[in-house]
Structure 1
């Protein structure tokens, strides 16, 4: 009997390791989605830079999270022999891989907001600092119970802040961090309020959206981190939020292809927090609300002289993430068909805490880096485009 029990335990450990590994691979693939969404949105002279930034950001973020960030968030490090690290089929290693793909999404989100005028190396340094210190501090606060914040919420309001797959921890943080960078950089040269630069390539934009949509089911469903914890409810809620965001963005955005392909992403951002609690109808409403929010706020941003958010990452991730964190405290309630176990006040406080943490952390990091080396390209480099100015090559052989 002991041999059978041991064999079952090994199989279960192996299954969990494979489960979270597949999730890590799916979320890793989402970074290609971030890349092509940006490539399709920016002007032709900045397409190479968009592709390079996403891969470089991911790589430098991996180093920062491996050596510093993961230990801050979870208290674990990898300064041990390989024999120790492969315990339980290397589950802790694969868990790191999975959570790294979340952490690296932060610079990828910021990249879309500061596109076409952000310096390359200074933003790489800033991304490393954020993934090493800012993001994991808040991540550990929420997902690992660090510093007693969650215990305080539970004691005061009857439930902890619930963010199953990162509406606030990942997307809200990324969106509001991007807001600080966007504000500090100012608008692009030649941009006039009310007149947006047209996307350079709608098929690439659509490809990026579809890659993100597919990968998001790994992002949400596999946030359970074990095979036993997997829930079909998360998958269907993600689906319903995605289509809800698409439909409302389609209606409110009046057939605009940029809005239609960002609508499903807005819905998926919003549903992350409560995807394991809501009824599918509630998820549809939450996703639809996010799709509408994105279109309305991004449209108004186009009239701003100071806030020039190229891909609309602040409304998409920041505002829709905030809505999702709070909405989990509404549609997660049993009175709205949810599974319960959430507190509206805890959701409000936890969501606002994420916004404040991102704003303060972002202003500190970006201001410090900017003092050492300018976060913005020179006027000449911005004029000729980041592709030629930074990488000395254009997207096609005809570029000079």
Structure 2
């Protein structure tokens, strides 16, 4: 492994993956689901619709206002509708333009409001991630952890605004840079905001894998790349048709790769990038003894981590139900399935670590309920109560033994268990759709899910390795041993999280 990182292989990997990224960016989006040209039937109908029905607007004005896609609708723009008319005893179906009714306007405003509220809840998850990561690490690095979680959202917002949103959702002949035409309607703003907080979540997941030894400047750089390129490219493959794109995974094997709320698209992508970062940056000083056996480095504030975990639980009620982006009765069902999976995950993790270590460990239990909610994301809109219970329970057990295996056998230092929680359990939840999300088991569905999981791993881990190796051999990725011992709070930021409190910096 040391020879690999010391040799010029990283140059080849960087070149290959960056070239692939450029090609994929160029091709991102796929065919647009709607054309800017009006159907012939609609054009014909518009010519015959009475002026009064169009509220005094000319045909040309109506044509300009008709949305290219339903995603750009608003409450004042006419919509096209097929109606049957009888002329001289002959019935024909024609398309007319009409305005929204009061009920439809109320539904529209409800969609906008709910999607924004869900985005606000997902944003609060940034605070949860910051508290969990800070609580699971040492006091001398708490300021650094908080700064990273602030900046990955700030940087993620701008990077997604400038380029990421375009890569993820644009059609072949349009621009969504700086919001693009989505800024023309209230719905466009709601949709962008919800997608932005998802992108920032992917970036913040990575923070835990390289915690306590990553240079702050390098962290800022890789946050840009994740939100501008790595996450949006895979997102375009799986979710592009949510707007004007068309991802190839969406039609995979005729059944499509299914990931409703991002078990793979958000969580596994972030988890696999974190794995790459943890491998390249290496373990913290003192994590492994001379024989390679792992040594515990306790977090400084477990109650802080628990509160952060509960904030994340709350945020998940926006993360999953908000993925409907519609204000309807299915929200409650999705919220209940999310809650069941989280609770089952916590029970499963507590039982597993109690059996393994003879003590019900608090940190593992927190990661257990987080793992349950990560896993349920993929098919939370179709899973039933039994499915949610089993998926969460398995995720809770899986996360415990994944953390142990990654640390003891792979010798990877993941301070907060983010690779296991998000990467491994995200993959499990995505796979579980083939067993619990369809009425009848199908090998085709199973293969589509496995393919999506595999493509997600290859893309994100490969890009992550290229990115972190490039940073390591250019601006530098890791702080010095002396800086690590003193703590990143003092060395990187000139602050202390607990000013005036004397701590043993070798331990805390």
Q: Where does residue 316 of structure 2 map in the other structure?
A: 216
**In the aligned structure 2, how far is the partner of 1:399 from the partner of 1:63?**
37
Does 2:430 align with 1:334?
A: no
Aligned mate of 1:372, from 455, 462, 474: 474
Tell me: CA distance 1:298–1:79, structure 2 relative to 1, closer, same or farther (3 Å).
closer
Query: Bigger CA drift: 298-307 or 58-67?
Result: 298-307
Matches within 5 A, 1:223-234: 223-228=323-328, 230-234=330-334
Aligned mate of 2:238, from 123, 142, 146: 142
Query: Bigger CA drift: 194-203 or 16-25?
Result: 194-203
Name the SS of the counterpart of 1:272 in structure 2: helix
Does 2:294 align with 1:194?
A: yes
Does 2:194 align with 1:94?
A: no
Q: Where does residue 168 of structure 1 map in the other structure?
A: 264
Answer whether contact 1:393 1:399 (CA < 8 A) is retained.
no
Does 2:150 align with 1:51?
A: no
Q: Where does residue 176 of structure 2 map in the other structure?
A: 77
Structure 1 residue 267, shift from structure 2 partner: 0.2
Q: Where does residue 247 of structure 1 map in the other structure?
A: 347
**In the aligned structure 2, how far is the partner of 1:53 from the partner of 1:23?**
23
Structure 1 residue 305, shift from structure 2 partner: 7.1
**In the aligned structure 2, how far is the partner of 1:214 from the partner of 1:80?**
28
Structure 1 residue 230, shift from structure 2 partner: 3.8
Name the SS of the counterpart of 1:372 in structure 2: coil
Q: Where does residue 299 of structure 1 map in the other structure?
A: 404
Answer whether contact 2:176 2:182 (CA < 8 A) is retained.
no
Matches within 5 A, 1:315-354: 315-335=420-440, 343-354=445-456
Answer whether contact 1:49 1:387 (CA < 8 A) is retained.
yes
**In the aligned structure 1, how far is the partner of 2:375 from the partner of 2:179?**
39
Does 2:237 align with 1:132?
A: no
Name the SS of the counterpart of 1:334 in structure 2: coil
Answer whether contact 2:212 2:488 (CA < 8 A) is retained.
yes
Q: Where does residue 32 of structure 1 map in the other structure?
A: 127
**In the aligned structure 1, how far is the partner of 2:287 from the partner of 2:183?**
53
Aligned mate of 1:274, from 363, 379, 384: 379
Aligned mate of 1:283, from 376, 388, 399: 388
1:107-149 Cα offsets, whole Å, 9 max, x none, are 2111111100011111111110111011100001100155652
Structure 1 unaligned residues grouped into runs of 5+? none
Answer whether contact 2:163 2:178 (CA < 8 A) is retained.
no
Answer whether contact 1:160 1:342 (CA < 8 A) is retained.
no
**In the aligned structure 2, how far is the partner of 1:66 from the partner of 1:329?**
34
Answer whether contact 2:251 2:257 (CA < 8 A) is retained.
no
**In the aligned structure 1, how far is the partner of 2:469 from the partner of 2:329?**
42
Does 2:279 align with 1:183?
A: yes
Bigger radius of gyration: 2
**In the aligned structure 2, how far is the partner of 1:353 from the partner of 1:121?**
29
Tell me: CA distance 1:320–1:79, structure 2 relative to 1, closer, same or farther (3 Å).
closer
Structure 1 residue 55, shift from structure 2 partner: 0.5
Q: Where does residue 484 of structure 2 map in the other structure?
A: 382
Tell me: CA distance 1:323–1:52, structure 2 relative to 1, closer, same or farther (3 Å).
same
Structure 1 residue 342, shift from structure 2 partner: 8.4
Name the SS of the counterpart of 1:191 in structure 2: coil
Structure 1 residue 12, shift from structure 2 partner: 2.2
Structure 1 residue 381, shift from structure 2 partner: 0.8
Aligned mate of 1:17, from 112, 119, 132: 112
Answer whether contact 1:244 1:267 (CA < 8 A) is retained.
yes
Structure 1 residue 15, shift from structure 2 partner: 1.3
Structure 1 residue 16, shift from structure 2 partner: 1.0
Structure 2 unaligned residues grouped into runs of 5+? 1-51, 56-98, 355-359, 503-508
**In the aligned structure 2, how far is the partner of 1:20 from the partner of 1:396?**
38
**In the aligned structure 2, how far is the partner of 1:341 from the partner of 1:215?**
34
Structure 1 residue 150, shift from structure 2 partner: 2.8
Structure 1 residue 385, shift from structure 2 partner: 0.6
TM-score (structure 1 length as normaliser)? 0.92
Task: Write 1 or 2 for the structure with the bigger share of helix.
Answer: 1
Query: Bigger CA drift: 189-198 or 14-23?
Result: 189-198
Does 2:216 align with 1:120?
A: yes
Structure 1 residue 13, shift from structure 2 partner: 2.0
Tell me: CA distance 1:138–1:226, structure 2 relative to 1, closer, same or farther (3 Å).
same
Q: Where does residue 206 of structure 1 map in the other structure?
A: 306
Name the SS of the counterpart of 1:171 in structure 2: helix
Answer whether contact 2:213 2:488 (CA < 8 A) is retained.
yes
Answer whether contact 1:245 1:292 (CA < 8 A) is retained.
yes
Structure 1 residue 213, shift from structure 2 partner: 0.5
